Amino acid sequence: MPREPKIAPSLLSADFARLADETARVASADWLHFDVMDAHFVPNLTFGLPVMKAVQAVSPVPLDCHLMIEDPERWAPEYAEAGARNVTVHAEACTDPRGVARDIRAAGALAGLALKPGTPLEDHLDVLVDFDTLLVMSVEPGFGGQSFISDVLTKVRTARRLVDAGDLTLIVEIDGGINADTIEQAAEAGVDMFVAGSAVYGADDPDKAIAALREQAAAAIRG
Ligand SMILES: O=C(CO)[C@H](O)[C@H](O)COP(=O)(O)O
């Protein structure tokens, strides 16, 4: 059966003054991507656990929390306990990736591992068996609206091969610069879940943009 592409709009590109309305505008999405930035691991500051809980209470779609923070071991389980569907930590920030994956899962969420564009997949292959999702960053984490870095597709292809061979069970996710010009190459490389910020929230009708991106990715997978 062909892969069914999934779309996760990134709330980073939404109007922060109207977060409840902005979650309702993407009700057809698969996950809602929630970017937590601490101004230390990345040079930007967004929102944290109290805002996540408020969004979680009104969101029609499950939350996909991407923690771009130092000390993820301290915070990740709390996002899981608050009801996130998936909680992703950065490999570059983790001192105990296996331990944090175990804690996230024990708190009821899927556990995700994210890699910055320059971080080799090979350096973290041994821990991937403990994770449910792999988030391949296709921009430097910190800001929306950047250009897609196509070199990271090598990591996507490797992960896809390992999943298709049955060596790993992972949702392969990509984040950064995904739009109508880039989604097809990402889909062909093997992505399951596409995070899109500006391409969705920058559209007049975000739900229409989600449907169009999903269909474009599905067509690329069908070949
Ligand atoms: O994690 C992120 C940045 O660190 C964002 O989710 C990502 O950049 C999405 O925005 P866009 O689709 O506009 O690139």
Distance CA 166, CA 107 (A): 26
Q: Are 133 and 111 in contact (CB under 8 A)?
A: yes
pLDDT attached to residue 220: 98
pLDDT attached to residue 1: 73
For atom 6 of ligand 1, the residue with the nearest CA is 10
Q: What is the mean pLDDT of the chain?
A: 98
Residue type, 69: I
198 assigned ligand-binding residue: yes
Determine the longest span between alpha carbons in the chain, in angstroms.
45
pLDDT digits (tens, 9 = 90+) for 55-70: 999 999 999 999 999 9
Q: Is residue 174 domain-resident?
A: yes
Distance CA 217, CA 204 (A): 20
Residue whose entry in the numeric block shows the structure tokens 């990345």: 42
CA of 52 to the centre of ligand 1 (A): 17
One pLDDT digit (tens) per residue for the chain, 223 residues: 779 999 999 999 999 999 999 999 999 999 999 999 999 999 999 999 999 999 999 999 999 999 999 999 999 999 999 999 999 999 999 999 999 999 999 999 999 999 999 999 999 999 999 999 999 999 999 999 999 999 999 999 999 999 999 999 999 999 999 999 999 999 999 999 999 999 999 999 999 999 999 999 999 999 9
pLDDT digits (tens, 9 = 90+) for 31-40: 999 999 999 9
35 noted as active-site residue: yes
> What range defines the domain where residue 143 resides?
6-222
Domain count, the chain: 1
Residue 187's domain is classified under what CATH number? 3.20.20.70
Q: Is residue 1 domain-resident?
A: no
Q: Is residue 69 domain-resident?
A: yes
126 noted as active-site residue: no
Among 30, 38, 64, 175, the one annotated catalytic: 175
Cα three-residue angle 153-208-2, rounded to 5 degrees: 45
pLDDT attached to residue 2: 79
Q: Which residues of 199-218 are buried (b: 16+ CB within 10 A; e: fewer)?
A: bbbebeebbebbebbbebbe
CA of 111 to the centre of ligand 1 (A): 19
ipTM exceeds 0.95: yes
